[in-house]
Amino acid sequence: MKITFCCAETKSEPWLAGLQSVLPTAQITVWQPGAPLADHAVVWTPPQQFFDEQPQLKGVFNIGAGVDALLKLRLPPQAVLVRLDDAGMSVQMAEYVCHAVIRHFREFDAYEAAMRAGQWSYRKPRRRADFAVGVMGLGVLGERVARALQMFEFPVNGWSRSAKSIDGVRSFCGAEQFNDFLAATQVLVNLLPLTPETRDIMNRETLSQLQPGGYVINVARGAHLVDEDLIALIDSGHLSGATLDVFRTEPLPSDHPFWQHPQITLTPHTSARTLREESIAQIAGKILALEQGYCVAGIVDPVRGY
């Protein structure tokens, strides 16, 4: 069995060593133009040339959860595109979102500013019942986030394309229930896959339907959010702020207005990083399963986009 590794801006040696340790009989190499044909590929943002030169691939394994960049390319028609199910990312995502929600709810940003100014002051406690958190996207990551938020006794809403049932989560589904979901939500958390249908989904019209003083947390893709609409709604007072981990252009350009906005908290696409050992174990297990003719989890439907 031959495996080719084509992951841009990723140090290949640890990945190759890890894959070789769990697949000792496989031939594993880093792809270069003109490389021999392989059976499976481990990829991250590969060029179109890679797939043009590897038309026989049976499995393409993405080392991240998002596959929107891959779906823009022409993949071999018989190749199965497989994304990571979790690989240690869901607990990181739950940590990040819970931190952002609690920081906003407890007004820790205001406390930090006061302490830096030498002011010893208290703020009136808020009611959790007034801070319903709405999670858009209830896949592996979204469900983990929703369950984690319940531990802090926030009311949790969930919206997904198809109906989902999670104990303690008020579920909404489909376009017909989207507006009701927004109207019931004070803090909006985006964990949707990026598809043509979800691009720009957080815009002036949709964000205006959040409860007054609403807050936005985007940990999915930058293209879900219309930047200027978010800023306008914060400046108007309808939204109280945002925590953003993903952006349309990364790194975020130095002249982007997000940098200087006092009510927007930024992090550099770090909410859930790929954990190499967990990812290698998952990818190796799925390669072996495909080789033996078994079905695997995480197969991407090109029509749905995830």
Residue from 147, 199, 256, 269 carrying the catalytic annotation: 269
Residue from 83, 144, 221, 224 carrying the catalytic annotation: 221
Residue 269 falls in the annotated catalytic set: yes
Residue 44's alpha-carbon distances to 39, 55, 70, 81, 103, in angstroms, are 17, 17, 8, 12, 33
The DSSP element (H or E) to which 122 belongs, if any, is: none
Interatomic CA distance for residues 117 and 157, integer angstroms: 37
Residue 31's alpha-carbon distances to 39, 51, 80, 135, 300, in angstroms, are 13, 11, 19, 38, 23
Decide: helix, strand or coil at residue 11: coil
The 3-state secondary structure of 170-222, one letter per residue: EEEECHHHHHHHHHCCCEEEECCCCCCCCCCCECHHHHCCCCCCEEEEECCCH
Residue 40 falls in the annotated catalytic set: no
Catalytic residues, by residue number, are: 221, 269
